[in-house]
Amino acid sequence: MPTPKLYYEERTPSPLEQVWVQFRHNMWAMIALHILGAIVLFTLFAPVLAPYSPNTQFTDALSMPPAWTEEGTIRFLLGTDELGRDMLSRLLYGARLSFGLPFLVVLAAAAIGIPLGALAAMSVGVKSSTLKHLLDVLLSIPSLLLALIIVAILGPGLDNALLAIWLVLIPQFLHATRNAVHDQRHREYVIASRLNGVSQWYLLSVVIFPNTVKVLVVQLTMALSTAILDIAALGFLGLGAQSPAPEWGSMLAKSVEVAYSSPWVMALPGFALFITLVSVNVVGDSLKSAIDERIKR
Protein backbone atom coordinates (compact mmCIF):
# COMPACT_ATOMS: atom_id res chain seq x y z
CA MET A 1 0.00 0.00 0.00
CA PRO A 2 1.51 3.30 -1.00
CA THR A 3 2.12 5.79 1.72
CA PRO A 4 -0.46 8.49 1.51
CA LYS A 5 0.84 11.92 0.70
CA LEU A 6 0.62 13.83 3.89
CA TYR A 7 1.93 17.10 2.68
CA TYR A 8 1.19 18.87 -0.50
CA GLU A 9 4.48 18.87 -2.23
CA GLU A 10 5.16 21.26 -5.05
CA ARG A 11 7.83 19.54 -6.93
CA THR A 12 9.43 21.59 -9.67
CA PRO A 13 10.55 19.32 -12.49
CA SER A 14 14.25 19.50 -13.21
CA PRO A 15 15.28 21.58 -16.22
CA LEU A 16 15.88 18.44 -18.21
CA GLU A 17 12.42 17.16 -17.36
CA GLN A 18 10.91 20.47 -18.36
CA VAL A 19 12.56 20.28 -21.71
CA TRP A 20 11.35 16.72 -22.12
CA VAL A 21 7.78 17.74 -21.25
CA GLN A 22 7.94 20.43 -23.87
CA PHE A 23 9.52 18.14 -26.39
CA ARG A 24 6.97 15.37 -25.82
CA HIS A 25 4.12 17.66 -26.73
CA ASN A 26 5.51 18.07 -30.20
CA MET A 27 4.18 15.21 -32.28
CA TRP A 28 6.61 15.62 -35.16
CA ALA A 29 9.51 15.75 -32.79
CA MET A 30 8.43 12.48 -31.23
CA ILE A 31 8.04 10.81 -34.62
CA ALA A 32 11.49 12.00 -35.60
CA LEU A 33 12.91 10.78 -32.31
CA HIS A 34 11.46 7.34 -32.89
CA ILE A 35 12.87 7.20 -36.39
CA LEU A 36 16.26 8.17 -35.04
CA GLY A 37 15.90 5.44 -32.44
CA ALA A 38 15.21 2.93 -35.19
CA ILE A 39 18.25 4.11 -37.15
CA VAL A 40 20.38 3.71 -34.05
CA LEU A 41 19.04 0.16 -33.72
CA PHE A 42 19.91 -0.57 -37.35
CA THR A 43 23.35 0.82 -36.77
CA LEU A 44 23.95 -1.35 -33.74
CA PHE A 45 22.30 -4.54 -34.92
CA ALA A 46 22.69 -4.50 -38.69
CA PRO A 47 24.25 -8.01 -38.84
CA VAL A 48 21.29 -9.46 -36.92
CA LEU A 49 18.60 -7.55 -38.77
CA ALA A 50 19.94 -7.81 -42.31
CA PRO A 51 18.86 -10.93 -44.19
CA TYR A 52 22.10 -11.19 -46.16
CA SER A 53 25.60 -9.81 -46.15
CA PRO A 54 25.73 -6.42 -47.91
CA ASN A 55 28.15 -7.63 -50.57
CA THR A 56 26.77 -11.03 -51.47
CA GLN A 57 25.96 -11.01 -55.17
CA PHE A 58 22.95 -13.07 -56.18
CA THR A 59 23.70 -13.52 -59.86
CA ASP A 60 20.32 -15.15 -60.39
CA ALA A 61 18.52 -12.01 -59.21
CA LEU A 62 20.06 -8.97 -60.87
CA SER A 63 18.11 -5.69 -60.59
CA MET A 64 15.12 -7.27 -58.89
CA PRO A 65 12.43 -4.69 -58.04
CA PRO A 66 11.08 -4.41 -54.48
CA ALA A 67 8.74 -7.09 -53.19
CA TRP A 68 5.54 -5.05 -53.49
CA THR A 69 5.82 -4.73 -57.26
CA GLU A 70 4.66 -7.41 -59.64
CA GLU A 71 8.07 -8.76 -60.55
CA GLY A 72 9.37 -8.49 -57.01
CA THR A 73 9.98 -11.44 -54.73
CA ILE A 74 9.68 -11.76 -51.00
CA ARG A 75 13.28 -12.99 -50.94
CA PHE A 76 14.45 -9.43 -51.50
CA LEU A 77 12.11 -7.09 -49.69
CA LEU A 78 13.53 -3.91 -51.19
CA GLY A 79 14.82 -5.51 -54.37
CA THR A 80 18.42 -5.94 -55.52
CA ASP A 81 20.87 -3.75 -57.36
CA GLU A 82 22.49 -4.36 -60.73
CA LEU A 83 25.03 -6.72 -59.17
CA GLY A 84 22.31 -8.71 -57.41
CA ARG A 85 23.01 -7.41 -53.93
CA ASP A 86 20.10 -7.18 -51.50
CA MET A 87 19.10 -3.53 -51.11
CA LEU A 88 17.64 -3.99 -47.63
CA SER A 89 20.84 -5.49 -46.29
CA ARG A 90 22.91 -2.80 -47.93
CA LEU A 91 20.76 -0.04 -46.49
CA LEU A 92 20.87 -1.54 -43.00
CA TYR A 93 24.62 -1.95 -43.08
CA GLY A 94 24.83 1.46 -44.70
CA ALA A 95 23.34 3.01 -41.56
CA ARG A 96 26.60 2.16 -39.85
CA LEU A 97 28.64 4.05 -42.41
CA SER A 98 26.25 6.90 -43.11
CA PHE A 99 24.85 7.49 -39.65
CA GLY A 100 27.03 5.64 -37.15
CA LEU A 101 30.36 6.92 -38.35
CA PRO A 102 29.27 10.57 -38.68
CA PHE A 103 27.80 10.29 -35.19
CA LEU A 104 31.11 9.08 -33.78
CA VAL A 105 32.97 11.76 -35.70
CA VAL A 106 30.74 14.46 -34.22
CA LEU A 107 31.28 13.10 -30.70
CA ALA A 108 35.01 12.99 -31.28
CA ALA A 109 35.02 16.55 -32.62
CA ALA A 110 32.90 17.75 -29.71
CA ALA A 111 35.18 16.02 -27.22
CA ILE A 112 38.07 18.09 -28.49
CA GLY A 113 36.34 21.28 -29.62
CA ILE A 114 34.18 22.00 -26.56
CA PRO A 115 36.94 21.84 -23.91
CA LEU A 116 39.26 23.85 -26.13
CA GLY A 117 36.56 26.43 -26.72
CA ALA A 118 35.82 26.71 -23.01
CA LEU A 119 39.49 27.01 -22.28
CA ALA A 120 39.87 29.72 -24.89
CA ALA A 121 36.97 31.65 -23.45
CA MET A 122 38.14 31.40 -19.87
CA SER A 123 41.74 32.30 -20.52
CA VAL A 124 42.21 36.01 -20.57
CA GLY A 125 44.64 36.20 -23.48
CA VAL A 126 42.39 35.05 -26.26
CA LYS A 127 39.55 37.45 -26.02
CA SER A 128 40.49 39.91 -28.68
CA SER A 129 37.55 40.50 -30.93
CA THR A 130 39.84 40.55 -33.93
CA LEU A 131 40.45 36.85 -33.53
CA LYS A 132 36.73 36.30 -33.18
CA HIS A 133 36.03 38.21 -36.34
CA LEU A 134 38.79 36.43 -38.15
CA LEU A 135 37.37 33.05 -37.15
CA ASP A 136 33.91 34.24 -38.10
CA VAL A 137 35.09 34.96 -41.59
CA LEU A 138 37.26 31.89 -42.00
CA LEU A 139 34.50 29.62 -40.77
CA SER A 140 32.24 30.97 -43.46
CA ILE A 141 34.14 28.70 -45.85
CA PRO A 142 31.76 25.77 -46.18
CA SER A 143 32.67 22.53 -44.49
CA LEU A 144 32.52 20.52 -47.70
CA LEU A 145 35.06 22.77 -49.39
CA LEU A 146 37.43 22.40 -46.44
CA ALA A 147 36.83 18.66 -46.43
CA LEU A 148 37.65 18.61 -50.13
CA ILE A 149 40.99 20.28 -49.41
CA ILE A 150 41.82 17.67 -46.81
CA VAL A 151 40.71 14.79 -49.03
CA ALA A 152 42.78 16.33 -51.82
CA ILE A 153 45.85 16.13 -49.58
CA LEU A 154 45.18 12.70 -48.09
CA GLY A 155 43.61 11.08 -51.12
CA PRO A 156 40.06 9.73 -51.54
CA GLY A 157 38.67 7.11 -49.16
CA LEU A 158 36.16 6.76 -46.35
CA ASP A 159 38.71 7.01 -43.53
CA ASN A 160 40.20 10.16 -45.01
CA ALA A 161 36.75 11.62 -45.48
CA LEU A 162 35.95 10.94 -41.82
CA LEU A 163 39.22 12.47 -40.75
CA ALA A 164 38.50 15.50 -42.91
CA ILE A 165 35.04 16.02 -41.45
CA TRP A 166 36.42 15.60 -37.95
CA LEU A 167 39.07 18.23 -38.56
CA VAL A 168 36.50 20.58 -40.06
CA LEU A 169 34.07 20.19 -37.15
CA ILE A 170 36.56 20.84 -34.35
CA PRO A 171 36.98 24.57 -35.01
CA GLN A 172 33.22 24.90 -35.32
CA PHE A 173 32.72 23.44 -31.85
CA LEU A 174 35.57 25.50 -30.53
CA HIS A 175 34.14 28.67 -31.95
CA ALA A 176 30.57 28.01 -30.82
CA THR A 177 31.63 27.07 -27.31
CA ARG A 178 33.98 30.00 -26.99
CA ASN A 179 31.31 32.44 -28.07
CA ALA A 180 28.67 30.89 -25.83
CA VAL A 181 30.89 30.92 -22.75
CA HIS A 182 32.17 34.34 -23.61
CA ASP A 183 28.63 35.68 -23.79
CA GLN A 184 27.93 34.46 -20.28
CA ARG A 185 31.18 35.50 -18.67
CA HIS A 186 30.15 39.05 -17.88
CA ARG A 187 26.57 38.38 -16.92
CA GLU A 188 25.64 39.46 -13.43
CA TYR A 189 25.07 35.95 -12.14
CA VAL A 190 28.52 34.90 -13.18
CA ILE A 191 30.10 37.94 -11.61
CA ALA A 192 28.13 37.22 -8.48
CA SER A 193 29.47 33.68 -8.32
CA ARG A 194 32.92 34.91 -8.99
CA LEU A 195 32.62 37.37 -6.12
CA ASN A 196 31.63 34.41 -3.99
CA GLY A 197 35.11 33.17 -4.68
CA VAL A 198 34.36 29.93 -6.56
CA SER A 199 37.10 28.25 -8.50
CA GLN A 200 37.44 28.67 -12.26
CA TRP A 201 36.46 25.07 -12.78
CA TYR A 202 33.35 25.45 -10.64
CA LEU A 203 32.50 28.67 -12.41
CA LEU A 204 32.76 26.99 -15.78
CA SER A 205 31.19 23.63 -15.08
CA VAL A 206 28.42 24.51 -12.63
CA VAL A 207 27.67 28.18 -13.18
CA ILE A 208 28.22 28.89 -16.87
CA PHE A 209 27.94 25.55 -18.58
CA PRO A 210 24.21 24.89 -17.96
CA ASN A 211 23.47 28.18 -19.67
CA THR A 212 25.35 27.24 -22.79
CA VAL A 213 23.50 23.97 -23.21
CA LYS A 214 21.16 25.40 -25.80
CA VAL A 215 23.98 26.58 -28.01
CA LEU A 216 25.79 23.29 -27.65
CA VAL A 217 22.72 21.21 -28.41
CA VAL A 218 22.09 23.26 -31.51
CA GLN A 219 25.72 22.94 -32.49
CA LEU A 220 25.71 19.18 -31.93
CA THR A 221 22.67 18.51 -34.07
CA MET A 222 23.88 20.89 -36.74
CA ALA A 223 27.25 19.18 -36.73
CA LEU A 224 25.60 15.78 -36.99
CA SER A 225 23.51 16.82 -39.94
CA THR A 226 26.55 18.45 -41.58
CA ALA A 227 28.64 15.35 -41.01
CA ILE A 228 26.01 13.01 -42.42
CA LEU A 229 25.45 15.21 -45.45
CA ASP A 230 29.12 15.87 -46.15
CA ILE A 231 30.18 12.26 -45.83
CA ALA A 232 27.39 11.26 -48.17
CA ALA A 233 28.32 14.07 -50.55
CA LEU A 234 31.95 12.96 -50.59
CA GLY A 235 30.75 9.42 -51.20
CA PHE A 236 28.54 10.64 -54.01
CA LEU A 237 31.45 12.49 -55.61
CA GLY A 238 33.55 9.34 -55.42
CA LEU A 239 35.93 10.91 -52.92
CA GLY A 240 34.62 9.22 -49.78
CA ALA A 241 33.56 5.63 -49.28
CA GLN A 242 34.64 3.41 -52.16
CA SER A 243 32.73 0.49 -53.58
CA PRO A 244 31.63 -2.00 -52.52
CA ALA A 245 31.03 -0.22 -49.20
CA PRO A 246 27.26 0.21 -48.75
CA GLU A 247 27.59 3.88 -47.83
CA TRP A 248 24.43 5.66 -48.90
CA GLY A 249 26.12 8.49 -50.78
CA SER A 250 28.30 6.19 -52.85
CA MET A 251 25.37 3.82 -53.40
CA LEU A 252 23.48 6.78 -54.77
CA ALA A 253 26.36 7.70 -57.04
CA LYS A 254 26.50 4.18 -58.45
CA SER A 255 22.75 3.98 -58.79
CA VAL A 256 22.43 6.92 -61.16
CA GLU A 257 23.68 4.56 -63.86
CA VAL A 258 20.55 2.50 -63.53
CA ALA A 259 18.21 5.22 -62.31
CA TYR A 260 16.27 5.01 -65.51
CA SER A 261 15.82 1.25 -65.67
CA SER A 262 15.65 0.44 -61.94
CA PRO A 263 14.68 3.64 -60.12
CA TRP A 264 14.40 1.99 -56.71
CA VAL A 265 18.16 1.51 -56.56
CA MET A 266 18.48 5.29 -56.70
CA ALA A 267 15.42 6.19 -54.68
CA LEU A 268 16.14 4.04 -51.63
CA PRO A 269 19.58 5.22 -50.47
CA GLY A 270 18.55 8.82 -51.12
CA PHE A 271 15.39 8.29 -49.15
CA ALA A 272 17.31 6.74 -46.26
CA LEU A 273 19.61 9.73 -46.25
CA PHE A 274 16.70 12.13 -46.44
CA ILE A 275 14.77 10.49 -43.58
CA THR A 276 17.85 10.44 -41.39
CA LEU A 277 18.60 14.09 -42.08
CA VAL A 278 15.00 15.17 -41.53
CA SER A 279 14.88 13.32 -38.23
CA VAL A 280 18.14 14.80 -37.03
CA ASN A 281 17.05 18.28 -38.07
CA VAL A 282 13.57 17.98 -36.57
CA VAL A 283 14.90 16.63 -33.29
CA GLY A 284 17.50 19.39 -33.17
CA ASP A 285 14.99 22.04 -34.06
CA SER A 286 12.45 20.83 -31.50
CA LEU A 287 15.07 20.53 -28.77
CA LYS A 288 16.05 24.08 -29.47
CA SER A 289 12.51 25.38 -29.22
CA ALA A 290 11.81 23.23 -26.17
CA ILE A 291 14.81 24.75 -24.41
CA ASP A 292 13.69 28.19 -25.56
CA GLU A 293 10.28 27.59 -24.06
CA ARG A 294 11.78 26.51 -20.76
CA ILE A 295 14.02 29.54 -20.57
CA LYS A 296 11.11 31.81 -21.37
CA ARG A 297 9.11 30.52 -18.46
261 binds other proteins (CB under 8 A): yes
Report the C-alpha gap between 161 and 180 in whole angstroms. 29
CA distance 10 to 23: 22
**Pick 34 or 133: Cβ nearer other proteins:** 133
Q: Which of 35, 244, 288, 293 binds other proteins (CB under 8 A)?
A: 244
Q: For other proteins, which is the closer residue by CB, 19 or 233? A: 233
243 binds other proteins (CB under 8 A): yes
Determine the interface stretch with other proteins among 33-41, 106-114, 212-220, 228-236 (rule: CB under 8 A): 228-236
| Residue (40 or 83) nearer to other proteins, CB | 83
Whether omega for the bond prior to residue 115 falls within 30 degrees of 0, making it cis, is no
Q: Does 293 bind other proteins (CB under 8 A)?
A: no
Stretch that binds other proteins, among 37-45, 66-74, 172-180, 240-248 (CB under 8 A): 240-248
Distance from CA of residue 55 to its chain's centroid? 26
H helices of the chain, where?
Answer: 15-24, 27-49, 87-95, 101-122, 129-138, 143-154, 158-185, 188-195, 200-202, 213-236, 248-255, 263-296
Binding residue count for other proteins, defined by CB under 8 A: 58
177: nearest Cα among 124, 228, 111 = 111
Residue 161 beta carbon to other proteins: minimum distance, rounded to whole angstroms: 12
CB-CB contact of 230 with 222 (8 Å): no
119 counts as binding other proteins under rule CB under 8 A: no
Q: Is 66 in the site for other proteins (CB under 8 A)?
A: no
Distance CA 14, CA 197 (A): 26
Sole binder of other proteins in the list 77, 285, 288, 293 (CB under 8 A)? 285
Q: Report the distance separating Cα 288 and Cα 270, nearest Å.
A: 27
Residues that bind other proteins (CB under 8 A): 28, 55, 57, 59, 62, 82-84, 129-130, 133-134, 137-138, 140-145, 148-149, 151-153, 156, 225, 229, 232-233, 236-239, 242-244, 249, 252-253, 256-261, 263, 266-267, 270, 273-274, 277-278, 280-282, 285
